[in-house]
Amino acid sequence: DAVEISLKDIDQLARTSFPLCMRHMLEKLRENHHLKHGGRMQFGLFLKGAGLKLEDALAFWRAEFSQKVGSERFDKEYAYSIRHNYGKEGKRTDYTPYSCQKIISATPGVGDHHGCPYRHFGEENLRAALNKMGVSGHPLEEIMDKVKNRHYQLACTLTFEAAHGVSCDTGINHPNQYFSESQNMLK
Ligand code: SF4
């Protein structure tokens, strides 16, 4: 669809409408001014799917990475892969954002921040991250119960419901679906 998001709204949108996996990567990117390849792919394609245009995407990543590696190195080593994700380089494939299933089956290593927090965080970190989203008490315990039973997408669906105060009958199966359902509700 033709929905567009702009650079200046990303942090606000993350607070209201990003699923936990994407909130986490934005936080780490802001903190470290860097994300490894797996994170750049997962988060970059999500932002593209959410409606971030190529020029804004380049400005977004450059603003962070240049603080770490300098803008010259950013332009030389990283800008290409962002344009690539938008189908502007290489085979010019227009890459689609990853589904939950793909994200859940990722195998993030040390220093990686991609993947699905319900699947890849330890219990303590997950509880803390959910608390930060304003989820606590009975809903939190229900979510942790789903996680124990390896129902990660159900855990994410329950988080959506707790964070938005509504039921989500379709269930979450894609981070961009989480985002657009949240945005539709807030309209
Ligand atoms: Fe992200 Fe999907 Fe995991 Fe939710 S279930 S945190 S949207 S990968």
pLDDT band at 2 (very low <50, low <70, confident <90, very high): low
What residue's CA is closest to ligand 1, atom 1? 21
Q: Nearest CA to 42 among 110, 120, 104?
A: 104
Of ligand 1's listed atoms, the one at least distance from the Cα of 152 is 5
Cα-to-centroid distance, 77 and ligand 1 (Å): 29
The burial class, CB within 10 Å (0-12 / 13-18 / 19+), for 35 is buried
More confident residue, 35 or 90: 35
Phi, psi (deg, nearest 5) at residue 5: -120, 150
Residue 94 pLDDT level (bands cut at 50, 70, 90): low
Residue whose Cα lies nearest atom 4 of ligand 1: it is 156
CA distances from 89 to 39, 48, 52, 84 (A): 20, 15, 18, 5
Report the pLDDT averaged over residues 127-148.
Answer: 97
Residues touching ligand 1 (Cβ under 6 Å) are 19-21, 100, 103-104, 116-118, 152-153, 156, 172, 175, 178
**How confident is the prediction for the chain on average, in pLDDT?**
95
Among candidates 24, 8, 22, which has minimal Cα distance to 132? 24
State the distance from the centre of ligand 1 to the C-alpha of 71, rounded, in angstroms: 31
- Domain layout of the chain by residue ranges: 7-85, 100-186
Alpha-carbon span 165 to 126, nearest angstrom: 20
Q: How confident is the model at residue 186 (pLDDT cuts 50, 70, 90)?
A: confident
d(CA 129, CA 122): 11
**Count helices and strands in the chain by DSSP H and E runs:** 12, 0
pLDDT of residue 131: 97
The band of 3, judged by pLDDT with boundaries at 50, 70 and 90, is confident
Length of the chain: 187
Task: Give the Å distance between the CA of 82 and the centre of ligand 1.
Answer: 22
